[in-house]
Amino acid sequence: MSQDAKKNFNYKNIDLLKRYITETGKIIPARVSNVSAAEQRKLTKSIKIARFLALLPYTDSHR
List the one residue from 35, 43, 47, 56 that touches another protein (CB under 8 A): 56
Assess 62 for contact with another protein (CB under 8 A).
Answer: yes
- What dihedral angle (degrees, nearest 10) is formed by the CA atoms of 3, 9, 18, 13? -110
Nearer to another protein, 12 or 41 (CB): 12
Is residue 47 packed enough to be buried (19+ CB in 10 Å), middle (13-18) or exposed (0-12)?
Answer: buried
Taking residues 35 to 54 in sequence order and writing x for each that binds another protein by CB under 8 A, - otherwise, the string is --------------x-xxxx
How many binding residues for another protein (CB under 8 A)? 16
